[in-house]
Amino acid sequence: MMKLSGSIYLVLICFTAGLGGFLFGFDTAVISGAINFLRTQFELSPAMEGWLMSSALFGCIGGAAISGWISDKYGRKKVLMLSALLFIISAFWCAVADTASVLVIARILGGVGVGFAAMVAPMFISEISPAELRGRLVSVYQLSITLGILFSYLSNAWILKISTSTSISEPLHFYFVDQVWRAMLGSNMVPSLLFLILLLLIPESPRWLIKKGILMRHTKY
């Protein structure tokens, strides 16, 4: 029974960390479905369109560059929680943005979250996994990125479909019909909130705790 409970808990931990990869894929790909609407809405120049498409990757560079230092100082879990918060703020900001420049800034912020997740989530999985399962469990992260890309396309397609529905209530009409790109970019809030909530339920990396002298080493990794 303890073994089953431990296995389920390990799956929960790896699923939670894998959501960081899912959000990586979702955040970088979701813009592809919204760009045509943004081009019309803001009369984008080629340069601004390029910025909108690539801004998340610029943020990713910054996030990845400092993620190692921050995660060593404050812990893997806290950095992943910060990543989740950045995803939530970025998605909300994108949904309410009134200019293309604001969208670029919001997506750069989300990109920082991507950089944090890209570096820390697989590290977290590797540090919490048993040695005999480590390779397989870390590969879950890469699979999660691909699933995030896939689900961003499915999400965009679903939002486009319901945008033609007559059953959309008036408060949501602006986001799902009049300016449907807002719902597309804002949809990232849903998995981001799930990511943050699940992070509250999992422990810190035991290797980080040992490194900081908080936890005595008693298990062979």
Residue 122 lies in a domain: yes
pLDDT digits (tens, 9 = 90+) for 156-177: 999 998 888 767 667 777 777 7
What pLDDT score does 151 carry?
97
How many structural domains is the chain composed of? Answer: 1
Please state, in angstroms and rounded to a whole number, the distance separating the CA atoms of residues 43 and 39: 5
- Residue 104 is inside which H or E element, if any? helix 100-128
Question: Given this model, what pLDDT does residue 2 score?
Answer: 39
pLDDT of residue 221: 44
Specify if 114 maps to a domain: yes
The pTM of this model reads 0.89
Domain of residue 44, residue span: 13-211
Q: Each residue of 148-157: b (16+ CB within 10 Å) or e?
A: bbebbeebbe
Decide if 161 is inside a domain.
yes
Q: How far is the CA of 209 from the CAs of 57, 96, 215, in angstroms?
A: 31, 40, 5
Q: Looking at residues 83-88, what average pLDDT do you find?
A: 97
User: What pLDDT digit, counting tens, does each position of 44-79 carry?
Assistant: 999 999 999 999 999 999 999 999 999 999 999 999
107 part of a folded domain: yes
Domain containing residue 111: CATH number? 1.20.1250.20
Within-domain flag for 2: no
Q: How many CB atoms lie within 10 A of CB 211?
A: 14
What is the sign, positive or negative, of the torsion defined by CA atoms of 64, 69, 75, 78? negative
